[in-house]
Amino acid sequence: MTLISAQVYLFYGFAGLAVLGALGSWLLVRNAMAAVMSLIVTVVSLSVLYVLMGAHAVAALQLLIQAGTALVLLLFVLLLVNPDPGGFGTRDPGQVVIQIIGAAAALAVGFVIAGTVSVTLPLPAEAAPGSGGFRELGVQLVTVYAVPVEAVGLLLLAAVVGAVVQTRQEGR
Amino acid sequence: MLAIVAIKCGLLLLVLLGFLVPAASWIERKQSALMQDRVGANRAEISGARLAGLLHPLADLVKLVSKQDLVPEGASRALFELAPWVAVIPGIAAFAVIPFAGVYPFADESVSLVAADIDWGLLHVLLAAALASFGAVLAGWSSNHGGARLGAVRGAAQVVSYAAPLGLSAVGVFLVFGSVKLTDMVVAQDTTLRLAGVVEAFGVAVPGWAQGFPFTIPSWGIVLQPLGFLLFLTCVLAQQGRPPFDSSESGGELAGGYRGEYTGLRGGLFDLADLLGLLLIACLLTSIFFGGWAIPWLSTDAILGGLAPFVGEALATIVCVALHLTSFLVKVLAMVWLQLLIRGSLPRVRYDQLMDLCWKRILPLSLANVFLTASAMVLVGAVG
Amino acid sequence: MVPIEHIVGLSALLFTIGVVGALVRRSLLAMLISIQLMLNAAGLAFVGFNRIWQGSEHGQAIDGQVFTVIVISVGAAQIAVGLAMVLALVRNRDSMNVEDMSVLKW
């Protein structure tokens, strides 16, 4: 087994794991924590996919920001709000048919969209030398994409202020 | 290539779990005992040989194995059993980027005693800490117990909150050493700074005899980033949940917090995670601020250059490796001593005081540190 | 390595699972989970396309990854605000079910 085909096997393996995690986060209605854990499985397998595609910096940032903070925040709120041990509520039997039909329709639309990708190139076996590392990403973020980064900073500031204002209780 | 990595990982696991963790456990007991003017645990013996309590880690293991395995009623069993592993495995994985010694030529390729010389160096440790915090959250949730849940909330909030100033205090270090990788940082600390340089910056000429040995200091992180060291120490202690920032697992208040319902070996895994945190902090502080494996005033080239003409290349390299490993170990033990000193002297910080400290004091200070460091570098002309 | 249609297909699959989840679920936190999934799927598509257009004259070799980083940051901001809203709503209505929050409906 050459190194190339090992990468391909790893790719499809983790892609399947990502899909399983996504399905788990949707289907595990009983246990809220298990649903969030499946999402974490998806996030981690996506990070592995990024590494396999040569985007090391993005993989590290994805793990750090999503698995490290955003999902921990989600778990944190889950613990604070304390939903019943029944998880996200029971599944309504009348809804199941509608859900299946809706899911199939959405999936069909999704694949039609994916099919319009007119570029049918295989990925290059080697990543380009100027991509993937932290140094290159940093250079781009500070020079070419400085304005979007500043805009994201403003957005984060607005988000923090909004979050603090919304959760502040009157009289404190 | 792959074989070397496998050997390094295996050695790391062996040294970590077989030597460093039991040693840290013994040191924690004995130092707490000495600080509190008592003898400490010294009863464990093998056929009469007590060895001053050195056998107690082994005795602890035997005790934990023989305890009853309880799962609380109403708990989600799968998550309950998963939680300690989620806490321990990233804790071990964080050690992959710690440089135990430098880079040496070996059978015409250079081998570095780091398990994985990843591009994002110190961020890997942040990642591992963030992933390990899931263990606390899982444990708190699946224990189906109010105190456990509160402990998990506190633990998660602590890790996430202190990750921000931790990263910022590390930025000062990144600026000074020019790299995120711990290996590069230690190599940069393998040199000395001339004190005469400070005087010469003001235009005063320094005589030749003041340029050499007694008038140099090793260019360690703590010399270049004193405020950064204090901030980093506070943040990393808070993020790993070490005393005095251990309100999430306070034995007295929350009945053990998120690990209160864990017995036997599973509870022992949380203790293992604690000790790994202690060692990780020690290794991080050593590598970033105290020169890592570098011996002060005795750089690698000096050692190799001095020994090679006498005993040949191979033996000089081996002696160099041994010296560096010893230096690393001594410094790590000193950092463990420092942390246990802090643990034994300071009272526990209350949770709201903890959050106040993070957001209102440490975060602005670390931003100020970044600003000061960058300004100092521009003034000294070290940029570019 | 892997054809680009497979990566885009995977992204589309994850995205549709997220969309269906967001539309069908009735708990606020479950909807937030599905929205995060959608964001991740979008980031995957960006990194995949970055790999295709890397060596070409269409821009720098790392543009797609910059987009992904910005998408991830926006996702973090969104989940912070979303969770704050969930906390405020739960405090007011004492329920996480969307159907209990139908004051503006006809």
Check CB contact under 8 Å for C37 and A22: yes
Q: How far apart are CA C44 and CA C56, in angstroms?
A: 20
Question: Which of C4, C25, C47 lies at the smallest CB-CB distance from A117?
Answer: C4
> What is residue A42's predicted lDDT score, i.e. its pLDDT?
94
Contact A72, B159 (CB under 8 A): yes
Among candidate residues B78, B32, A43, B320, the one with its CA nearest the CA of residue C40 = A43
Is residue B44 one of the residues assigned to a domain?
no
Cβ-based neighbours of B321, under 8 Å, separated by 6 or more = B101, B104, B113
**Cβ-proximal residues to A117 (8 Å cutoff; 6+ apart), any chain:** C4, C5, C8
Q: What is the CATH number of the domain that holds C48?
A: 1.10.287.3510
Q: Chain A residue closest to B180 (CA)?
A: A134
- The encoded tokens of residue B48 equal 């009469």
- For range B285-304, the mean pLDDT: 82
pTM above 0.80, yes or no: yes
> Which of helix, strand or coil describes residue C55?
coil
On the question of pLDDT at B68 being above 90, the answer is no
Whether C103 is covered by a domain: the verdict is: no
Nearest to A113 among C7, C12, C20 (CB): C12
Q: What is the pLDDT of residues C41-84, one digit of tens each?
A: 999 999 988 887 766 666 667 888 899 999 999 999 999 999 99
pLDDT at B382: 58
pLDDT at site C43: 94
Domain that holds residue C48: 4-97
Q: Which of A9, A74, A164 to mutate to test the interface with C (most CBs of C within 10 A)?
A: A74
Query: Where residue B310 falls among pLDDT bands split at 50, 70, 90?
Result: confident
Gap between the Cα atoms of A148 and B157, Å rounded:
29
Alpha-helix runs per DSSP H in C25-97: 28-52, 63-93
Q: Do chains C and B touch (3 or more CB pairs under 8 A)?
A: no
Residue type, B157: A
pLDDT in tens, B44-59: 767 666 667 777 888 8
pLDDT grade for B34, boundaries at 50, 70 and 90: confident
Compare CB distances from A72 to B124, B133, B142 and report the shortest one's residue: B133
Looking at the domain assignment, is residue C28 inside a domain?
yes
**pLDDT at residue A1, rounded to an integer:** 42
Measured torsion, CA atoms of residues B127, B132, B134, B139, in degrees rounded to the nearest 10: 180
In angstroms, how far is CA A118 from the centroid of its own chain? 25
Q: Which residues of A touch C85 (CB under 8 A)?
A: 166
Q: Which of B125, B160, B171, B351 to mutate to test the interface with A (most CBs of A within 10 A)?
A: B160
| Overall number of domains in chain C | 1
Average pLDDT score over chain B: 81
The answer to whether position C18 is within a domain reads yes
**B280-290 CB burial, b ≥16 within 10 A, e <16:** bbbbbbbbbbb
pLDDT of B119 over the 90 cut:
no
At B334, is the pLDDT very low, low, confident or very high (cuts 50, 70, 90)? very high
* Model confidence band, residue B137 (pLDDT cutoffs 50, 70, 90): confident
pLDDT at A18: 93
- How much is the pLDDT for B1? 66
- Give the count of beta carbons closer than 10 Å to the beta carbon of residue B153: 24
Residue C12 domain-assigned (yes or no):
yes
At residue B265 the predicted structure's pLDDT band, cuts being 50, 70 and 90, is confident
Number of domains observed in the structure of chain B: 1
For B76-98, what is the mean pLDDT?
86
Given this model, what pLDDT does residue A125 score? 56
Say whether pLDDT at B384 is over 60. no
Residue with tokens 């005087």: B199
Cβ of residue C35 closer than 8 Å to a chain A Cβ? no
Amino acid code (one letter) for B135 = G
pLDDT in tens, A106-149: 778 777 776 776 555 556 655 555 566 788 888 888 888 999 99
Q: What is the b/e burial string over B325-356, where b = at least 16 CB atoms within 10 angstroms of the residue's CB?
A: eebbbebbbebbeebbebbeeeebbebeebbe
Q: Is position C55 within any domain?
A: yes
At A52 the pLDDT is 86
Give B2 or A172, the one with higher predicted confidence.
B2
Residue type, A159: A
User: Is omega for the bond preceding B99 within 30 degrees of 0, making it cis?
Assistant: no
Query: Which residues in chain A land under pLDDT 70?
Result: 1-4, 83-96, 114, 117-132, 170-172
**Mean pLDDT over each residue of chain C, to the nearest integer:** 84
| Predicted local confidence at residue A172, as pLDDT | 46
Q: Rounded to whole angstroms, how far apart are CA atoms C43 and B226?
A: 39
